[in-house]
């Protein structure tokens, strides 16, 4: 069975997902859904996938930033984004806390807003308290790109898309983001967009 990733405009993306009980989490249905979501995320490919994106209005997301996704990035880019490999894991019923006032602006895309990208300001340091795929309580302390992924996926669980948080003048097709903006600093991107 292959999952279909729903696109912006589908009402499920604008609803807050319902929390799952520990019994539900351990059920064969949810365990199978987790595996199908892992496959769909990898096939896309993406670094995160929330249940509402496949039409399920529940508080569940899968996350993974694989080594092969980092191969095109220079050491400087990896350091600037604070991006490292993130092993596959599941977050359920997450509660997000922003740890401090530090933030960063970078381009963000979404599997449910195919073909577009925009600059989004996100907290650099977050703590997430959630349940894992076994229904166990977990606390995640994340920085940089990992913190961005968590915020993006938790937004999905609450009916929020990155386009709600984007700097609107920076909206671009993914093709044009790579063509014109990929190797420019975000401050240069923002200056170019604001002067247009």
Catalytic residue numbers, as ranges: 153
Query: Residues 166, 193: contact at Cβ < 8 Å?
Result: no
Closest by alpha carbon to 158, among 1, 35, 8, 18?
Answer: 18
Q: List the structure tokens of 17.
A: 């997902």
Measure the CA–CA gap between 22 and 35, rounded to whole angstroms. Answer: 17
**C-alpha distances in angstroms, 139 versus 77, 88, 188?**
28, 15, 36
Query: Residues 140, 128: contact at Cβ < 8 Å?
Result: yes
Q: Which runs of E-coded beta strand occur in 22-161? A: 48-50, 60-65, 86-98, 103-108, 116-123, 125-131, 137-143
β-bridge partners, 98: 126
Strand order in the sheet with 172-173: 103-108, 116-123, 172-173
Strands 137-143 and 60-65: unpaired
């Amino acid at each position: 069975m292959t999952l279909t990733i729903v696109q912006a405009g589908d009402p499920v993306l604008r609803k807050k997902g319902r929390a799952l009980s520990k019994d539900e989490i351990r059920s064969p249905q949810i365990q199978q859904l987790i595996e199908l979501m892992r496959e769909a995320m990898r096939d896309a490919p993406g670094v995160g996938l929330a249940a509402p994106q496949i039409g399920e209005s529940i508080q569940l997301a899968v996350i993974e930033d694989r080594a092969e996704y980092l191969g095109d990035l220079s050491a400087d880019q990896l350091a600037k984004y604070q991006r490292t490999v993130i092993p596959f894991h599941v977050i359920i019923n997450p509660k997000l806390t922003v740890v401090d006032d530090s933030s960063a602006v970078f381009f963000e895309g979404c599997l449910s807003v195919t073909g577009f990208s925009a600059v989004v300001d996100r907290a650099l340091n977050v703590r997430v308290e959630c349940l894992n795929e076994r229904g166990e309580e977990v606390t995640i302390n994340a920085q940089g790109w990992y913190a961005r992924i968590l915020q993006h996926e938790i937004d999905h669980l609450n009916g929020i898309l990155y386009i709600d948080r984007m700097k609107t003048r920076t909206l671009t097709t993914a093709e044009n983001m790579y063509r014109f903006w990929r190797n420019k600093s975000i401050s240069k991107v923002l200056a170019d967009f604001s002067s247009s």
